[in-house]
Amino acid sequence: MRNHDEVGTSDEPAATTLIAPAGMTRRGWLKIAGASLAMLVSPVGLASTNLVAVRVWPGSGSTRITLESATEVKFSHMLVKDPERLVLDLEGVELNSVIQSLPSKVLASDPLISLIRAGRNRPGVIRVVVELKEEIDPQVFTLKPVASYGHRLVLDLVPTRPYDPLLALIEKSSPMEAAGGDSAPQASPRQESVRREQTPARRDNTPTNRLFTVVLDAGHGGEDPGAIGRRGSYEKDVTLSIAKRLQKKIDAEPNMRAVLTRNGDYFVPLQKRVAIARRVQGDLFVSIHADAFVRPEAHGSSVYVLSERGASSSAAKWLAQKENDADLIGGVNLARQDGHLARTLLDLSQTATINDSLKLGSAVLQALGGVNRLHKPQVEQAGFAVLRAPDIPSILVETAFISNPEEERRLNDNAYQDKMAEAVMRGIRQYVKSNPPANRTTVARLG
């Protein structure tokens, strides 16, 4: 007896002899008859479709599987217990080499997937079975064609015990650091998490002994490659490499630590990047990019902060719109978005935070000027969604234009990436020196 999630195979339809009508070549008749036969055997009443690409993106808090096709695919899915499996049925899809390559896309280090099986389950239906390492709450949704992508069927595998960036950060820290001082009693990660959330916070000039947390946001990732250079360089790869270099420099500083919004090649929605920064009680938020412009001669480094009153230039407005479209390209499950959170972040007054962001941006921009030419001599402002944390000074750093062939070459150079990271580090040091850490006001708690 077959398991109810078995991939298996099934008998093909019996062969049919096709005779061309008078006056028509056999090749022409075969083409027409073949299309008609496909219409008849397809379970959705349409000709079968081929998948053109399959991708698996393991992340720190979830794993995403993306199936891309030229036309929309009809599907159904279910969870199966003992052992844990996610079963996906695709109707009217050809069993081609693309879908057969899906098992090879799974890395041994994937936090959630043991293996994937794919094959014909019954006539007209391809079954994909994802064998899991733990229980998940799957988010399965479709995306319309955008940019260079066709129709996409997305499976976000999210553990039922969600990833907590604050606990991960505390567990990475030493017991003394997590407890808050050399002589403080050691606390468990869970106790420390509760203590940090329950302790009243304030923004004043009283110095504290807590670690100064800098959240580093490597732009784009996963389904969203960001800008692409003429030599084929992906912005998402450059930004992650610079962010990791900067993370090491920050972690080497006394009483400072860095947290990455992503530490691998996977997509993180803009809203979630902000939520991560607030969850770990970040003191600064630095989003790292290497954008493209319509003209390849555009060059130089820039720093941007949030604006509540419109963009400071047409170029800043264009860039903000382009960066805010990342969710469309990377793929966000709109049914799961928290409208209340979005309204909270948009409605809160951010005047004080923006002023601090301008100070941080000026310090970083000045330091970048020692490494690269500046695209603009001043910090610019626009409505970047990723900079909307209401109580965390936030900047977006455009390290260079990846669309400029010379800057693309330098952005791929390890030594140059390190110089960029060091320049941002100098700017952060200067800001902290002029604005010593203080207890922060919690404007709105995020769950």
Task: State the pLDDT at residue 348.
Answer: 40
- So what's the pLDDT on residue 22? 56
Higher pLDDT, residue 332 or 366: 366
The candidate with the shortest Cα–Cα distance to 287, out of 330, 348, 235, is: 235
Read off the pLDDT of each residue in 339-365 and give the average, rounded to a whole number: 70
Element (H, E) at 322: helix 314-324
- Would you kindly state where each structural domain of the chain is located, as residue ranges? 51-157, 200-434
Tens of pLDDT, residues 412-439: 999 999 999 999 999 999 999 998 876 5
Q: Can the peptide bond before residue 83 be classed as cis, meaning omega within 30 degrees of 0?
A: yes
- Judged against a pLDDT cut of 50, whether residue 103 lies above it is answered with yes
Q: Is the pLDDT of residue 327 over 90?
A: no
Residue range 118-122: mean pLDDT, rounded? 93
Rg (CA), the chain: 26
CA dihedral 241, 244, 245, 247 (to 10 degrees): 160
Phi, psi of 88 (to 5 degrees): -125, 125
User: What is the distance of C-alpha 184 from the center of its chain?
Assistant: 37
Instruction: Report pLDDT digits (tens) over 217-249.
Output: 999 999 999 999 999 999 999 999 999 999 999
pLDDT > 90: what percent of the chain? 55
User: Which of the two residues, 60 and 405, has the higher pLDDT score?
Assistant: 405
Kindly report, residue by residue over 52-82, the tens digit of the pLDDT: 999 999 988 789 999 999 999 999 999 999 9
16, 106, 168, 250, 390 from 278: Cα distances, Å: 64, 32, 14, 19, 9
Q: What is the mean pLDDT of residues 122-134?
A: 95
Question: Higher model confidence: residue 388 or residue 377?
Answer: 377
Torsion, Cα 21 23 26 28, to 10 degrees, reads -100
- Measured between alpha carbons, how far is 28 from 33 in angstroms, rounded to an integer? 9
With 0-12 / 13-18 / 19 or more C-beta atoms within 10 angstroms meaning exposed / middle / buried, residue 55 is middle
Task: Please give the full DSSP string across 57-88, using - where no structure is assigned.
Answer: EE-SS-EEEEEEESS--EEEEEEETTTTEEEE
Q: What are phi and psi of 232, to 5 degrees?
A: 90, 10
Say if CB 205 and CB 435 are below 8 A apart: no
> Percent of the chain having pLDDT more than 70?
70
pLDDT in tens, 242-297: 999 999 999 999 989 999 999 999 999 988 999 999 999 999 999 999 988 877 88
| Residue 372 C-alpha from the chain's centroid | 28
Is pLDDT at 141 greater than 60 in this prediction?
yes
Tokens 């005779």 identify what position? 19
Using the structure block, give the residue that is written with the tokens 């909270």: 344
- Report the C-alpha gap between 414 and 425 in whole angstroms: 16
Q: Judge whether residue 442 has pLDDT over 80.
A: no
Q: Which residues make Cβ contacts (< 8 Å) with residue 401, sequence separation at least 6?
A: 290, 291, 292, 293, 298, 299, 300, 375, 407, 408
Q: Which two tokens stand for residue 23?
A: 């006056």
- Topology of the domain comprising 51-157: Immunoglobulin-like (2.60.40)
CB 81 within 8 A of CB 96: no
Residue 56 CA to residue 282 CA, distance in Å, equals 30
Comparing 324 with 111, the larger pLDDT belongs to 111
CATH topology of domain 200-434: Aminopeptidase (3.40.630)
> What is the model's pLDDT at position 253?
95
Phi then psi for residue 255, to 5 deg, are 60, 25
Which residues, other chains included, contact 151 with Cβ-Cβ below 8 Å and sequence gap of 6+? Answer: 68, 69, 70, 71, 72, 73, 142, 143, 144, 145
pLDDT over 50 at 9, yes or no = no
> In the prediction, which pLDDT does 314 show?
72
Give the SS3 label for residue 244.
helix
User: What are the percentages of helix, strand and coil residues in the chain, rounded to 5?
Assistant: 35, 25, 45
SS3 (DSSP) at 32:
helix
Query: Do 51-157 and 200-434 have matching folds?
Result: no
Highest mean pLDDT among 20-24, 193-197, 212-216: 212-216
What is the per-residue pLDDT for 202? 37
Q: Alpha-carbon distance 196 to 335, whole Å?
A: 31
Pairwise CA distance, residues 406 & 355, whole Å = 34
Would you call 98 helix, strand, or coil by DSSP?
helix
φ, ψ for residue 221, nearest 5 deg: 125, 150
